[in-house]
Structure 1
Amino acid sequence: MSTNRTPPLGDTTGLWQQVIAAAAGRCQCRGTCGKNHAKDGGRCPREHAGYRHRHGGGLVHLVAAPADPADMLLPDHRQAALPKRALAAWCPDCHQATLAAARKTWQAAVPPVEPDALFKI
């Protein structure tokens, strides 16, 4: 019997660990969230399992998500297929703010929808 087993589909624990290890356990945001992180050398200071100092405190749990904000708008199955080099470690606050900024940029680029000819006056 072989001892080399493939993880079940959807098991991303190993990939998450690799992304977090490559980031040295620290959020990799460099300002796409809208903050410049200047007093922290230009990179978010939040570390995995570290405590937040504001906004209710609590532990920080980093997520592995697309490094490119535009890729955050991809459907989940396309994001899951991204290679490790296209992922980054994000604290929840930076991830949510970056995602919101990406959505806003995308919405601004989409032309307004014209009404159907049936409804034109």
Structure 2
Amino acid sequence: MNRIPPLGDQQGLWQAVMAAASGRCQCRGTCGKNHAKTGGRCDRVHGGYNNRHGGGTVHLIAAPADPADMLLPAHKAAALPKHQVSAWCPACHDATHRAAHKAQQASVPATGPDSLFDL
């Protein structure tokens, strides 16, 4: 059975992360963009307007700061201390997660054929 922390605990963590980030995405290029026009940091702010990818309001999420930690199971990621959690806009989070997954797949050594079938 997956145990999810009470909403109050999640809300407190989210608020602490957003306060530390000043309500702005903390991506500094791990998504694949250099964010050069905005000083090297993503310019999306919580509640702001997303002028790309269909528009709408930006809703920042609190997720692991280290891209490798994004691959942790949900219960382990939720247990990270708040200094290891950052604010992410969905676009930067998704791109960073994909890049971390791709890097993990590339680091897995290719296995040879099973010795059972060696001739």
Assess same fold via TM > 0.5.
Answer: yes
> 1:61 aligned to 2:59?
yes
Aligned to 1:9: 5
User: What are the residue-to-residue correspondences of 1:58-97 with 2, within 5 Å?
Assistant: 58-97=56-95
The alignment's C-alpha RMSD in Å is: 1.3
Aligned to 1:41: 39
Once structures 1 and 2 are overlaid, which stretch shifts more, 108-117 or 57-66?
Answer: 108-117
> 1:21 aligned to 2:19?
yes
Larger Rg: 1
Q: CA deviation at 1:103?
A: 0.5
Q: CA deviation at 1:112?
A: 1.2
Q: Which has the higher helix share?
A: 2
Q: Work out the number of aligned pairs and report it.
A: 114
Q: For the residues of structure 2 that align with 1:90 and 1:15, how far apart are their CA atoms?
A: 14
AA aligned to 1:108 is: A
Q: 1:1-44 CA distances to partner (integer Å, 9 max, x unpaired)?
A: xxxxxxx8343111011101110000000000000000101000
Deviation above 3 Å: which 4+ runs of structure 1? none
Q: For the residues of structure 2 that align with 1:47 and 1:120, how far apart are their CA atoms?
A: 58
Q: CA deviation at 1:55?
A: 1.4
Aligned to 1:3: none
Q: CA deviation at 1:54?
A: 1.4
Q: Report the TM-score when normalising by structure 2.
A: 0.90
Q: For the residues of structure 1 that align with 2:5 and 2:42, how far apart are their CA atoms?
A: 32
Q: 1:39-94 CA distances to partner (integer Å, 9 max, x unpaired)?
A: 10100000001111111100110000000000001111110110000000000000
Structure 2 unaligned residues grouped into runs of 5+: none
Q: For the residues of structure 2 that align with 1:120 and 1:51, how far apart are their CA atoms?
A: 60
Q: CA deviation at 1:120?
A: 3.7
Q: For the residues of structure 2 that align with 1:113 and 1:17, how far apart are their CA atoms?
A: 45
SS in 2 for 1:48: coil
> 1:50 aligned to 2:42?
no
